[in-house]
A = this chain, B = another copy of it.
Amino acid sequence: MRKLTPFAAILAAMMPFAGQAQEKVDAAMMQKIRQEGLENSKVMEIAFNLTDKSGNRLTASPGFMRAANYAKKTLEGWGVKNATIDPWGEFGKGWELEKSYVALTAPYYKPLPAYVKAWTAGTKGLKSAEIVLVKPLKDSTSIEAYRGQLKNKLIIMEPAVMPVYNISFKADARRYEETELQKMADEKPVTPGAGGRPGGGRFGNFNQDSVRAAQRALVLFKEMAIKDGAVGILSNGTARSHDGTVFAQGGGVYKKGDPENILDIVLGIEDFNTILRLTKAGAPVKLDVDVKTKFQTQDLTGYNVIAEIPGTDPALKDEVVMLGAHLDSWQTATGATDNASGSSVMMEAMRILKTLGVQPRRTIRIALWSGEEQGLLGSRGYVKKTFADPATMTTTPAHEKFSSYFNIDNGTGKIRGIYLQGNEQCRDIFQAWLAPFNDLGAKTVTISNTGGTDHQSFDAVGLPGFQFIQDPIEYDSRNHHSNMDVYDHLIEADLKQISTIVAAFVYNAAQRDQKLPRKEMPKPRTQTGF
């Protein structure tokens, strides 16, 4: 391993790049890829296997392993080499739901669609529970009012204001308008030469003292609730949980040695508000709850699926082009758009290339990650062990031999272009690569970063990692971490288009004379305090 000095990094960033104006594209091969991808697609069959057949793919769950084994076997079946279920480090406990029954029993009977947060405990049989409303907890003293009051109760952390159902006067689904795409294309780099550190994106910033005190109080409250024999917590998920679409994720810690989290059940806003209104009105509210969950602690390792089409050019075959997507999902559905769609199109891109008998100059490697939903863990683990440690920026020889990584993780919408992730040197290259697919709606190259997924793990160590621009469709409104992220919400035509364009990009990256140009090497995390 060698350590890249900041000086060398600056030099690398300043290196001239050649041939972009006349970036060569093999038009005949593009046509073949297009035909195979659009006419003979298997992408929906792959998606069916990853969703309906596997079930949810929470990292380290049986569903994830079913999908991983299917992917490995299927890739092998197509003749893709070196397929492996590859450990990337310690993830933590597996978890799955074995039973979930939730119903209102007073003032009348009504079964409630309810979604158990991952890594929470069960009820140990059927419990009949009344509601206790808990006022917002400010600090550790504010929990005392509830000590001794929680036995056999379902807890509602009373929201400061009643959650509001918003009537949908705007369509759930949309595609990008031309004007929006043009605006993206016109964007200028915000921080020229920046290392593209992951930031912003989906993850908020909660560092204020009062927030920390409230968070600490909540932890203590939950511990007390478990000790005092509460049945669990009733949550309303997010304000997006409406019309029967319910968003639910994890219910707490899952690492080796962590305690089981208190049962936490998410209802849609309508049922949650009904229970809240009835309770506040003094009506006799009761629920039956019977939840059984199972923790898997035999194997705490996290796994990615890796496989490759080996390079054939003696001078370039040790160099690597990667394509990938995360295979893991949340637990309430089968993660069709987050991210069976990405995993399916990546597998399909490999199938297209194998079917066409491509003998790439560079090695083409697919990665289907796990632990993305818990913080890009699988890709970070893989990058760290394979290319560089972002804490020190100590690199391996493979770092030098790496061309680029292409990611899909924004739902089922077709490709409209690609984010440069601050790497202006790739603009003309990608513009040329998109040209054969402009008629399919893909033409925009933007300097922007996009956050929250696995290309960031590459970008964070100075490797060219890219994510495509995709039409939003109903990703945020209906799919993303909801019970409605299921097969039927996939759009077949769009997934075919994505597979085709990804296969073309990967092919082009594998065949071009140079690796893709890089941005400046980021500073070690130890120096930036990140």
Binding site for B on A (CB under 8 A): 48, 52-56, 62-63, 96-101, 103, 107-111, 113-114, 165, 167-174, 242-246, 268-271, 273-274, 277-278, 281, 283, 334, 473-474, 478, 483-484, 486-489, 491
Give the residues in chain B near A273, CB-CB below 8 Å: 487-488
Cβ-defined contact, A99 with B109, below 8 A: yes
Question: Which residues of the other chain, B, contact A244 by a CB distance below 8 angstroms?
Answer: 113, 243-246, 268, 483-484
Tell me how far the C-beta of A122 lies from the nearest C-beta in chain B, rounded to whole angstroms: 13
In contact, B110 and A113 (Cβ under 8 angstroms): no
Minimum-distance CB pairs A-B, first 6: A244-B244, A55-B108, A113-B113, A165-B488, A168-B172, A100-B111
Residues of B within 8 A of A173 (CB): 167-169
Would you give 6 A-B contacts (Cβ < 8 Å), ordered by A?
A48-B277, A101-B103, A167-B172, A167-B474, A244-B268, A270-B486
Nearest-neighbour CB distance to chain B for A66, whole angstroms, equals: 8
For the complex, what is the distance from the CA of A101 to the CA of B488, rounded to whole Å? Answer: 23
Given contacts A167-B491, A283-B53, A473-B167, contact A98 B107 (CB under 8 A): no
Distance, CA A98 to CA B484, complexed state (A): 27
Q: Which of B97, B100, B101, B489 contacts A270 (CB 8 A)?
A: B489
Q: Contacts A52-B277, A101-B111, A111-B114 known; list 17 others, CB within 8 Å.
A: A52-B283, A55-B108, A56-B108, A97-B111, A101-B101, A111-B113, A167-B173, A168-B171, A168-B172, A169-B171, A169-B174, A242-B488, A243-B244, A244-B244, A244-B483, A273-B488, A274-B334
Q: Shortest distance in angstroms between A190's beta carbon and chain B's nearest beta carbon?
A: 32
Secondary structure dominating the interface of A: loop
Q: How far is the CB of A166 from chain B (nearest CB, A)?
A: 10
Q: Which residue of B lies closest to A272 (CB)?
A: B488
Chain B, residue nearest A332 (CB): B110
Chain B residues, Cβ within 8 Å of A334: 274
- Chain B hits for A109, CB < 8 A: 55, 96-99
A100 partner residues in chain B, CB cutoff 8 A: 103, 111
Q: Is the CB of B277 within 8 A of A167?
A: no
Bound form: Cα–Cα A168–B175 in Å: 11
Contact with A243, one of B96, B110, B271, B478 (Cβ below 8 angstroms)? B478
Partner of A277, one of B245, B473, B487: B487
Contact A99 B103 (CB under 8 A): yes
User: How far, in whole Å, are A334 and B273 apart by their CA atoms in the complex?
Assistant: 13
> A246–B278 Cα gap in the complex (Å)?
24
Copies of this chain in its oligomeric complex: 2
Q: What is the CA–CA distance of A54 and B108 in the complex, to the nearest angstrom?
A: 8
Q: Is the CB of B243 within 8 A of A484?
A: yes
Residues in B with CB closer than 8 Å to A281 are 48, 53
* A55/B277 in contact, CB under 8 A: no
CA distance A169 to B54 in the complex (A): 29
Q: Which residues of B contact A242 (CB under 8 A)?
A: 488
Residues of B contacting A245 in the complex (Cβ-Cβ under 8 angstroms):
243-244
Cα–Cα, bound, A97→B487 (Å): 31
Q: Point out the residues of chain B lying under 8 angstroms from A271, CB to CB.
A: 486
Identity of the chain B residue whose Cβ is nearest the Cβ of A277 in the assembled complex? B52
In the bound complex, CA of A437 to CA of B84 (Å): 71
CA distance A172 to B245 in the complex (A): 14
Min CB gap A441→B, angstroms? 15
Bound-state Cα–Cα, A173 to B173, Å: 14
A92 → chain B, closest Cβ, in Å?
21
CA distance A52 to B243 in the complex (A): 16
**Minimal beta-carbon separation of A477 from chain B (angstroms):** 8
CB-defined contacts of A487 to chain B, threshold 8 Å: 270, 273-274, 277
Bound form: Cα–Cα A100–B109 in Å? 9
The residues of B that contact A491 with a CB separation of less than 8 Å are 167
Chain B residues lying within 8 Å of A283, measured Cβ to Cβ, are 52-53
A270, B171: Cβ atoms under 8 Å?
Answer: no
Instruction: State which of B55, B114, B170 has its C-beta within 8 Å of the C-beta of A171.
Output: B170
Most buried by B among A171, A245, A488: A488
Question: Are B53's CB and A107's CB within 8 A?
Answer: yes
B488 touches A269 (CB 8 A): yes
A101, A170, A478, A489 interface centre (most CB from chain B within 10 Å): A101
Which residues from chain B contact A274 at a C-beta distance below 8 Å? 52, 334, 486-488
A340 to chain B, nearest CB (A): 13
**Is A484 a contact of B167 with CB atoms below 8 Å?**
no
Measured between beta carbons, the chain B residues less than 8 angstroms from A52 are 274, 277-278, 283
Interface-centre pick from A100, A111, A172, A268 (highest chain B CB count, 10 A)? A111
Taken together as a complex, chains A and B put the C-alpha atoms of A174 and B246 apart, in Å, by: 23
Name the contact of A489 in the complex, choosing from B54, B62, B167 (C-beta under 8 A): B167
Complex: A96 Cα to B103 Cα, angstroms: 14
Nearest-CB residue, chain B, relative to A276? B52
